[in-house]
């Protein structure tokens, strides 16, 4: 089954939203979780002022970036 990676990110005033760091789906939850862990540091360095608070792996459908956090 296809699995999509997304991050829940928050800024300094604790406003949170979902972002999708990779456009491609993964095959299986383990691949998604490993990729998510590897991307966190790189993503946070590129997005100063934002903090990843949660890594999500969603099976079946790509999450919307405007979902309620």
pLDDT in tens, 1-60: 899 999 999 998 989 989 888 888 999 999 999 999 999 989 999 999 999 999 999 998
Helix extents (H) in the chain: 29-46
pLDDT bucket at 65, cuts 50 / 70 / 90? low
CA pair distance 64, 41, nearest whole angstrom = 23
- What's this model's pTM, rounded to 2 decimal places? 0.79
Tokens of 64: 């919307």
């Amino acid at each position: 089954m296809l699995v999509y990676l997304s991050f829940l990110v928050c800024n300094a005033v604790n406003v949170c939203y979902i972002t999708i760091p990779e456009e491609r789906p993964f095959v299986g939850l383990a691949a998604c979780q490993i990729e998510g862990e590897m991307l966190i540091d790189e993503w946070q360095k590129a997005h100063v002022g934002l903090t990843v608070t949660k890594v999500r792996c969603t099976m079946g459908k790509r999450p919307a970036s405007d979902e309620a956090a």
